[in-house]
A and B are shown apart, each in its own frame.
Chain A
């Protein structure tokens, strides 16, 4: 049994002087939350897992033929060849519970005790498989011959783990901080406002905050605010360049949604609704999301379902916004004349569908795009998604996985690796520092802002 978080504990200190942003490495890990007895933890996990079970998830549960092919798609299996990292195995206790408690023949399984009850020890073991070694990148979902979207089931299992209070220390800590302070990584409204003021002076650019009415509401991720503040400046420059009627709002600027990563559905909804309400309040026609993959999933694909009705505005990832501005001719860019390779953020590309938008922007930058192999939907994940990069005990495994990316990028021979996700970017920064690699990941957004034609004039 791992240690349970004491209720009176001080919030974990954040750490900003390292290549990745997280809480400081905890001296004592608390990977169980709350005072719930073990039996109740299991019951809560399983009830939560099956509570939202709709037709599609149930069909998935009925369809696995144990062919094991999903292992071939998983980066954690690829680098370790350890069968426990087989994606569908990461769901084993939940599959058991489904058959025993919920499936059409559950009464038979229970009557004959064909599937034993899941224990809290099993769930604790599976915490490593569901969080540390799954980035919810969905590459396995692309491989499954039955067409099972395994990644969606992992997200559902994480809901169960959260309800059971069995979330890794770091993710529980930052989600708790997000609910308390409005930001998982300390980018509170005051910090954000101060940063914007400082950045505005420092870079001589107008950063609009809290305009009462605006067509475009921009949001940032806390990683950008705290670690890559140039992205805030880049956003402001680009908005001015294209002549957008835009604003940030202090009641809804933070697109990072650790509720989604942790499995805390209530926190996810709360964080999503902040942006939705801010957009409604200023009459925004478009919400432009930052370079953050899971923020895109949270608002673009899950936002309306959290809101309970269709969103009264469009939701665009910044790469999609930039591509639109290229198409309308409003975004005029200097030709970069370099060789570039693009790392596809999983939530944006494979699972989000914005496959060509970043490439259109790169084309407008006049670069020679050298695609990795595999690329686009089948590209390898950086290894840091799904909250993995924040978990200290997962570092060793994540670094192994990162070698795949280094090899892929080296093979292209491109001068600049570029991506459009701050979480991928910090995973690359961390990997670069760990391996003393000579390649630095670049942000598409910042690359565009650095090459606006007006800047050259």
Chain B
């Protein structure tokens, strides 16, 4: 078994298993905890309207924008670049279709009923480059900014590493960098993505799921009281 076979075979399977089981374990570990019924008389009965905080908190209130604009802009830049690259780069879509066929016996179209759109390679390259640049900027900010430096721990730096790694190795594979054979570059790229999957449930990357629960819970609690969202 060569490196690419390993990356496409057991490494992929095990990383997916760890990802799914780990995410479920961590999510259910908190979601299944009890909640106490709030017996106070609500100011506003329709607390569910507070779920709008999920969308509302995607951008800070104008009063807070000054000091947080850098983090917000850079955050959006790398998230958008990363996600568009992940889901709309042609080889990624083909790869996902392969996995879908392996798992469910049908391609993405058969599975979702959607024609999965793709982005031109040039656009994806640009998006990846923006994402990498923004990630480098947030790392420098984390090291230079006294607040972020103080509150950072291993998770912050390692999560950064496993996020930038697939982008960097993907760009390297696309550009055939380093004189390595393409297969080896591709294997390294796959392994870096699998590292991200393995780390995902254990560190802060989990915010991809918990963000909705945290914002939604706070939104409903605050809306019930008529408090500021």
* Closest chain B CB from A456 CB (angstroms): 34
Cβ of B215 and Cβ of A146 under 8 Å apart? yes
Cβ of A59 and Cβ of B68 under 8 Å apart? no
**Which of A201-209, A299-307, A433-441 lies at the interface with chain B?**
A299-307
* Complex alpha-carbon distance, A378 and B227, angstroms: 11
Using Cβ atoms and an 8 Å threshold, which residues of chain A touch B148?
66-68
* Complex alpha-carbon distance, A145 and B204, angstroms: 14
Q: A59-B213, A350-B228 are in contact. Are A305 and B36 (CB under 8 A)?
A: yes
* Complex alpha-carbon distance, A141 and B71, angstroms: 17
B118 within 8 A of A: no
A230 within 8 A of B: no
* Closest chain B CB from A28 CB (angstroms): 32
Residues 148-188 of A contacting B (Cβ, < 8 Å): 148-149
A353 within 8 A of B: yes
Residues 352-402 of A contacting B (Cβ, < 8 Å): 352-355, 373-374, 376-378
Cβ of B228 and Cβ of A147 under 8 Å apart? no
Cβ of B60 and Cβ of A145 under 8 Å apart? yes
* Complex alpha-carbon distance, A105 and B200, angstroms: 13
Using Cβ atoms and an 8 Å threshold, which residues of chain A touch B211?
63, 146-147
* Complex alpha-carbon distance, A58 and B26, angstroms: 11
Cβ of A88 and Cβ of B60 under 8 Å apart? no
Q: Which of B40, B148, B222, B228 counts the most chain A CB atoms within 10 A?
A: B228
Q: Which of B33, B206, B214 counts the most chain A CB atoms within 10 A?
A: B214
Q: What does DSSP make chain B's interface, helix, strand, loop or mixed?
A: helix
Cβ of B225 and Cβ of A104 under 8 Å apart? no
A65 within 8 A of B: yes
B116 within 8 A of A: no
Complex: chain A residue closest to B68, CB-CB: A69
Using Cβ atoms and an 8 Å threshold, which residues of chain B touch A374?
63
Cβ of A68 and Cβ of B218 under 8 Å apart? no
Cβ of B204 and Cβ of A65 under 8 Å apart? yes
Cβ of B30 and Cβ of A62 under 8 Å apart? yes
Q: A73-B64, A301-B225, A378-B61 are in contact. Are A83 and B149 (CB under 8 A)?
A: yes
- Tally of A-B residue pairs with Cβ under 8 A? 180
Complex: chain A residue closest to B53, CB-CB: A147
Cβ of A68 and Cβ of B145 under 8 Å apart? yes
B174 within 8 A of A: no
B25 within 8 A of A: yes
Q: A104-B29, A147-B218, A149-B221 are in contact. Are A66 and B153 (CB under 8 A)?
A: yes
Using Cβ atoms and an 8 Å threshold, which residues of chain A touch B215?
146-147
Using Cβ atoms and an 8 Å threshold, which residues of chain A touch B149?
83
Name the one of B33, B34, B68, B151 contacting A66, with C-beta atoms under 8 angstroms. Answer: B151
Cβ of A303 and Cβ of B68 under 8 Å apart? no
Q: A53-B33, A55-B30, A146-B214 are in contact. Are A311 and B228 (CB under 8 A)?
A: no
A86 within 8 A of B: yes
A265 within 8 A of B: no
Using Cβ atoms and an 8 Å threshold, which residues of chain B touch A30?
none
Cβ of A65 and Cβ of B60 under 8 Å apart? no
Cβ of A304 and Cβ of B217 under 8 Å apart? no
B202 within 8 A of A: yes
Cβ of A304 and Cβ of B40 under 8 Å apart? yes
Using Cβ atoms and an 8 Å threshold, which residues of chain A touch B68?
69, 72, 143
B117 within 8 A of A: no
Residues 54-98 of B contacting A (Cβ, < 8 Å): 54, 57-58, 60-61, 63-64, 66-68, 71-72, 75
* Complex alpha-carbon distance, A304 and B148, angstroms: 40
Using Cβ atoms and an 8 Å threshold, which residues of chain B touch A69?
60, 64, 67-68, 71
Cβ of A142 and Cβ of B150 under 8 Å apart? no
B219 within 8 A of A: yes
A56 within 8 A of B: yes
A54 within 8 A of B: yes
Cβ of A146 and Cβ of B26 under 8 Å apart? no
Cβ of A54 and Cβ of B204 under 8 Å apart? no
Q: A59-B210, A66-B148, A374-B63 are in contact. Are A350 and B227 (CB under 8 A)?
A: yes
Cβ of A83 and Cβ of B217 under 8 Å apart? no
Using Cβ atoms and an 8 Å threshold, which residues of chain B touch A310?
39-41
Cβ of B227 and Cβ of A352 under 8 Å apart? yes
Name the one of B29, B38, B71, B228 contacting A378, with C-beta atoms under 8 angstroms. Answer: B228
Q: A69-B64, A147-B211 are in contact. Are A104 and B26 (CB under 8 A)?
A: yes
Using Cβ atoms and an 8 Å threshold, which residues of chain B touch A228?
none
B103 within 8 A of A: no
A217 within 8 A of B: no
* Closest chain A CB from B55 CB (angstroms): 11
A327 within 8 A of B: no
A442 within 8 A of B: no
Cβ of B218 and Cβ of A307 under 8 Å apart? no
Name the one of A89, A303, A373, A377 contacting B151, with C-beta atoms under 8 angstroms. Answer: A89
Q: A104-B25, A309-B39 are in contact. List 10 more A-B contacts (CB 8 A).
A: A55-B32, A59-B217, A68-B71, A72-B66, A83-B147, A104-B28, A105-B25, A147-B218, A314-B41, A351-B228
A-B interface, 3 closest residue pairs, ranked by CB to CB distance from nearest: A377-B228, A104-B29, A353-B226
Task: Write 10 A-B pairs (CB below 8 A) sorted by A numbering.
Answer: A59-B214, A59-B217, A145-B60, A147-B53, A149-B222, A300-B40, A304-B38, A304-B40, A309-B39, A353-B43
